[in-house]
Amino acid sequence: MAMIEVRWHGRGGQGAKTASQFLGEAALDTDKYIQAFPEYGPERAGAPMRSYTRISDTVITIHSSVTNPDIVVVIDPTLVGSIDVTEGLGDKGIILVNTDKSPKDIRKDLDFTKGRVATVDATKISLETLGIPMPNMPMLGALLKVNPLVTIDQLSERVKGKFLKKIGEEKTNANIEGIKRAYSEVKID
């Protein structure tokens, strides 16, 4: 695998940074080289923010932010149309959006004719599994269907390692259930 670059779009407080790190760390467990880093602007809840994950078979020396991502993940649906989420996304690019809309409708909204478009209602899934609107973990699950960068089991292990002590078994399992549900519910065009 050449280097895969993922750009995450969210709003401050929605866990885009955490998602980018979990993906990187799960890939690290499979012996890949990784980078995961947020783009810090004015740090405030609700402000649009980006974070990035790089995964590679060889040492990653580049240290600038990602300009031509292979995959874009939009955690907050209200960012579609308000910022250019497809910026730098190439012909083979994939964009995954948290929305109840179909991939075809999002394609139209984004005016994105290339690559692939995927959608999943991650907010609904997190509400039903975790009881709060925290779509970042389901988005990770959906991402793995779109591109199996790591397996669901590898990601789940990482989630357990991170969450068990912090939020307890019940909520950790709810997060993993959300990941699995999004993996099976994501629609791809």
Partner 1 sequence: MTKKNLIPFTGDQAVAYAMKQIDPDVVAAYPITPQTEIVMNFSNYVANGQVSTEMIPVESEHSAMSACVGAAAAGARTMTATSANGLALMWEIVYIAASTRLPIVMPVVNRALSGPINIHCDHSDTMGCRDSGWIHIYCENAQEVYENTILAIRIAEHKKILLPVMVCQDGFITSHAVEGLELFDDKKVKDFIGEYKIENPLLDVDHPVTYGPLDLQDYYFEHKRQQGEAMKAALTAIPEVLKKFEKTFGRKYDFIETYKLDDAEIAIVAMSSTAGTVKFVVDELRQKGVKAGLLRPRIFRPFPKEKLITALKNVKAVAVLDRSESFSAEGGPLYTDIKAALYDSGIRPLISNYIYGLGGRDIFPADINKVYVDLQDILKTGKVKTPLNYLGSRE
Interaction site with partner 1 (CB under 8 A): 21, 24-25, 28-31, 33-38, 40, 60-65, 67
Q: Rounded to the nearest whole angstrom, what is the least distance from the CB of residue 36 to partner 1 in the complex?
A: 4
Q: Rounded to the nearest whole angstrom, what is the least distance from the CB of residue 157 to partner 1 in the complex?
A: 9
Q: C-alpha angle 96/100/103, rounded to 5°?
A: 45
Q: Rounded to the nearest whole angstrom, what is the least distance from the CB of residue 39 to partner 1 in the complex?
A: 9
Q: Rounded to the nearest whole angstrom, what is the least distance from the CB of residue 24 to partner 1 in the complex?
A: 6
**Nearest by Cα to 69 from 132, 115, 134:** 115
**Tokens of residue 23, six digits:** 């993906």
**Closer Cβ to partner 1, 36 or 106, answer by number:** 36
**Closer Cβ to partner 1, 34 or 97, answer by number:** 34
Burial of 47-84, coded b for 16+ CB within 10 Å and e otherwise, reads: ebbbbbbbbbeeeeeeeeebeebbbbbbbbbebbeeee
SS3 for 43? coil
**Closer Cβ to partner 1, 54 or 124, answer by number:** 54
**Tokens of residue 11, six digits:** 């709003």
Cβ atoms 122, 180 nearer than 8 A:
no
**Closer Cβ to partner 1, 30 or 102, answer by number:** 30
